[in-house]
Amino acid sequence: MQTITLAVHGGAGTILKEDMTPELEQAYYDGLNEALNAGYAVLEEGGSAVNAIKAAIVILEDNVLFNAGRGSVFTKKGLQEMDAAVMDGSTLNAGAVTGVRNVRNPIELAMEVMRNSNHVFLSGKGATDFAIKQGIKLEPDEYFFSQFRYDQWKAIRDSDTYSLDHTHQQLEELMKDKKFGTVGAVACDGDGNIAAATSTGGMTNKKYGRIGDSPVIGCGTYANNNTCAISCTGHGEMFIRSVAAYDVSCLMQYKGLSLQEAMNTVVNEKLMSIGGEGGMIGVDANGNAAMVFNSAGMYRAGRSSNGWNELSIYK
Ligand code: ASP
C-alpha cells in the first residue's frame, strides 16, 4: 500500500533551548502540530499532496510566530514583502510570487499562479493585481504588525544608517543570532504524488527588492515525482548559489543517492562549504521523509502512515 507522508518546517537557525521560555516552546509545538494535523487530514481523506501542503502552510502563515504571512518580518522600509512558491511533482507545474504585500496567504496566490495563469513567477504590484483579479484575500497593513518583529527590525534599522559595511555586519550578526522563520511543507499522497511549498517574509531589514531562495523554483522549493519534494529554510543567498533543492533531486536522479543521503550531501557538505546556514525537509514518492539542518535547530514536524512521527525544535 502507498505510504502517505507530510512534513512541515517553521524555519531553521540559531534556535537554542536556553533562549526559549516553556510557554513559547509550547506555542511553537502547538503551531507546528496544528499545521501537521490540517495537512495530514487532507491526505487521510484521499486528498492530493498539493492540497495537503496548502492546508498546512495556510495555518503557519496565519500564526504570528512564524515569518510568513501574518508574522512576516519588516523590510528596510518597515513593510512586509512576502514570497511563496509551490511545485507539483506529478506534473512539474509550479507557481511562485515575490515581494507581495497585503496578501493574507501568499501560498494561495502561488497556487493560483500555478493553476490559473500561464506563468510561473509573478512579482510585486503585478502579483497583487493578479491576486485581486482572482479574489485572493487581502488584509490591511495592521494585520501584519507584530511587536516582536517590529522590535527585531528596530534593533538593526538604526545602525544601518552609518555605512554600508556596518549594514553588512549588522545583517551578518542578525543572521547569526536570530532564526529564520520561513515555513514549508512537503507531502506524498495516496497516489504516490509528491509536492513542496515554501512561504516567507524573507529577511529582516531586507532592501533593494531583495529576493531569497524560498520562491525560486529549484533553490528553496522543488518537486518531481521521480526524485523528491524539497522545502528549504536558511540564508537564502547561499541556497540560491547552491541551487539547493534541485541539487538534492539531481543527486538522486543522476547519482542514485537516497533522499537522506542527497539531503545530507547538500546541507552538510555543499551548503556548509560556502557558509550556508539552514536546513530542508523532503519526501520521495515512496513516502520516505527526511529533515536535515546544519544550524542549532529547525522547527519541524512530520507524520507518515508507516508510523513515523516527529515534533522537534533542537538538534
Ligand atoms: N530562506 C529565507 C530567505 O532567505 C529565509 C528563511 O528561511 O527564513 O528569504
Give the C-alpha separation, 307 to 178, whole Å. 33
* 182 catalytic residue (yes or no): yes
CA 274 to chain centre: 21
Atom of ligand 1 nearest to the CA of 239: 1
The class that CATH gives domain 5-76+145-314 is alpha beta
Listed by start position, the domains of the chain span 5-76+145-314
Atom of ligand 1 nearest to the CA of 211: 9
Task: Note the pLDDT of residue 158.
Answer: 66
Q: From the first residue on, what is the mean pLDDT of each consecutive set of 10 residues in the chain (315 residues)?
A: 96 85 94 98 98 98 94 89 98 98 98 98 97 98 86 71 30 50 96 98 87 97 99 95 98 98 98 96 98 95 98 95
CA 185 to chain centre: 7
What is the Å distance from ligand 1's center to 13 Cα?
10
Task: Note the pLDDT of residue 241.
Answer: 98
Enumerate residues lining ligand 1, CB below 6 A.
11, 67, 180-182, 200, 202-203, 212-214, 220, 233-234, 236
Length in residues, the chain: 315
Give the C-alpha separation, 261 to 258, whole Å. 5
Task: Note the pLDDT of residue 250.
Answer: 98
Catalytic residue among 3, 5, 182, 200: 182
Contact in structure between 219 and 244 (CB atoms under 8 Å): yes
- For the entire predicted model, the pTM comes to 0.93
Pick from 14, 172, 180 the residue to mutate for probing ligand 1's pocket: most ligand atoms within 8 Å of its CB. Answer: 180
Task: Note the pLDDT of residue 164.
Answer: 24
Helix axes 124-134, 106-116, angle to 10 degrees: 80
